[in-house]
């Protein structure tokens, strides 16, 4: 079945039609518009996919160390009834595991080197229930945390900055000291490095130390754990579960979920993602509206053709349809090319970026700045579909004015000098 002549002529004009110098220039401008749309769409897909992957990677690595929900005693004090809190927390259908812990800040010293750290006292037998880090260390490291031996497990970056290895001594300096006639003297305790861990999250690898909760209680002079850590079936339900536990647990406790930790960081990423979407959409808009100049030149060049079509009985609507088809063809081809290019790069960015880093001898993601060292990517249909729709809509809108001008061409005026 033959195509309607509007489609046939619109597609012919897109392919440049007669091989004249003027027509070739119009074809070149049309190709530039198509390339601009493709690059804009590809850039949008790549950037948003990288930002999605960055957020997911940091979140997953953070949750390998941080629990989904934490329950604290009032004012950070010792939990009044640990076993009851554990029992009530485990009774919630979303809770997979629960483990007590002690958290405090301290200084770690090795010779003249000194670093601040978050010290977490854990139960080695229960820790694998609540974190992936505990599972990874269970076999060969957590078993070395024996109460009374004062072993300590350091983050890999923290151990490197102190210059210590497994078996080396390190001094832990507790913030609350002993009161003496000479003043307040900080409490010092020599610990033995029992192992190191690498969570892949620079913030924790450079500032977290683990020891047995009984040793932590003795060092910080506590009567028991200061909190309980929980792991949930669905981490996205953490805020709802925390609210339910806050209303059901007995005693004065404080419940906090992982979404409230580093909340400003996640909010900042969302704002940056939204702004990048707006900025890169403007690039697509500029490329789409290049179609206006392309179609205006095409209309000027085809005035005689338009006049002949009108004298043969073509309606203004049909003339308008021809040039809408031409602009829409450029928009569709550019959008599809951009989708293919963007998805190809987004799904292979873990290969492309390391190759570029080796080529330019540079690191695009320093761990101490971006928390992770590998460029992640997570293309999501929730981003890709709106990008394609917006690109097509902008291309279509850009065709309306030139097409309307084409439909208003007066045949007599157009053919006067032909």
Higher-confidence residue: 176 or 227? Answer: 227
Region 31-57: mean pLDDT is: 86
Strands 113-122 and 208-212: parallel
In Å, what is the CA distance from 391 to each residue of 97, 327, 400?
47, 12, 15
Axis crossing angle, helix 316-347 with helix 21-63, rounded to the nearest 10: 40
Strands 208-212 and 227-232: unpaired
pLDDT in tens, 326-349: 778 888 888 999 999 999 998 988
Alpha carbon distance 373, 364 (integer Å): 8
pLDDT at 19: 44
The share of the chain scoring above pLDDT 90, in percent, equals 4
Alpha carbon distance 207, 106 (integer Å): 10
pLDDT at 2: 40
pLDDT at 341: 93
pLDDT in tens, 104-142: 888 898 888 888 888 998 888 888 888 777 555 655 777
Higher-confidence residue: 239 or 374? Answer: 239
User: Does pLDDT of 55 surpass 70?
Assistant: yes
pLDDT at 3: 44
Alpha carbon distance 212, 143 (integer Å): 10
Averaged pLDDT of the chain: 79
Residue 416 confidence class, pLDDT cut points 50, 70, 90: low
- What is the token pair recorded at 126? 């229960």
Taking Cα atoms as reference points, which of 106, 145, 50, 107 lies closest to residue 347? 50
CA angle 110, 62, 271 (to 5 degrees): 120
> Which ranges constitute the DSSP H helices of 64-105?
82-90
């Amino acid at each position: 079945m033959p195509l309607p002549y509007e489609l046939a002529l619109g597609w012919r004009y897109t392919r440049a039609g007669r091989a004249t110098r003027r027509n070739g220039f119009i074809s070149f401008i049309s190709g530039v518009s198509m390339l601009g749309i493709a690059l804009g769409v590809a850039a949008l897909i790549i950037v948003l996919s990288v930002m999605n992957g960055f957020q997911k990677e940091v979140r997953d690595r953070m949750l390998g160390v941080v629990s989904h929900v934490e329950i604290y005693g009032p004012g950070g004090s010792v939990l009044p009834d640990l076993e009851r809190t554990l029992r009530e927390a485990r009774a919630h259908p979303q809770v997979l595991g629960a483990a007590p812990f002690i958290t405090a800040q301290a200084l770690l010293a090795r010779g003249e080197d000194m670093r601040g750290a978050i010290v977490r006292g854990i139960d080695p037998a229960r820790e694998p229930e609540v974190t992936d880090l505990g599972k990874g260390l269970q076999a060969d490291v957590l078993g070395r945390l024996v109460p009374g031996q004062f072993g300590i497990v350091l983050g890999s970056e923290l151990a490197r900055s102190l210059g210590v290895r497994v078996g080396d001594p390190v001094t832990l300096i507790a913030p609350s000291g002993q009161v003496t006639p000479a003043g307040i003297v900080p409490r010092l305790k020599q610990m033995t490095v029992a192992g190191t861990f690498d969570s892949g999250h620079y913030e924790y690898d450079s500032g977290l130390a683990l020891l047995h909760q009984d040793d932590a209680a003795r060092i910080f002079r506590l009567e028991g754990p200061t909190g309980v850590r929980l792991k949930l079936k669905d981490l996205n339900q953490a805020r709802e579960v925390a609210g339910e536990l806050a209303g059901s647990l007995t005693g004065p406790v404080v419940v906090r979920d992982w979404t409230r930790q580093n909340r400003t960081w996640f909010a900042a990423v969302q704002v940056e993602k939204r702004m990048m979407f707006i900025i890169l959409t403007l690039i697509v808009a500029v490329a789409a509206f290049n179609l206006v100049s392309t179609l205006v030149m095409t209309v000027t060049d085809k005035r005689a053709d338009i006049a002949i079509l009108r004298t043969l009985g073509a309606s203004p609507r049909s003339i308008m349809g021809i040039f809408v088809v031409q602009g829409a063809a450029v928009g569709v081809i550019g959008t599809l090319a951009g989708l293919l290019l963007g998805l190809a790069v987004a799904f292979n960015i873990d290969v492309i970026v390391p190759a570029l880093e080796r080529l330019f001898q540079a690191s695009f993601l320093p761990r101490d700045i971006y928390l992770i060292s590998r460029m992640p990517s997570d293309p999501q249909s929730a981003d890709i579909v709106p990008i394609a729709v917006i690109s097509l809509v902008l291309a279509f809108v850009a065709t309306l004015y030139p097409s309307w001008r084409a439909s208003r061409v007066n045949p007599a005026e157009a053919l006067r000098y032909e």
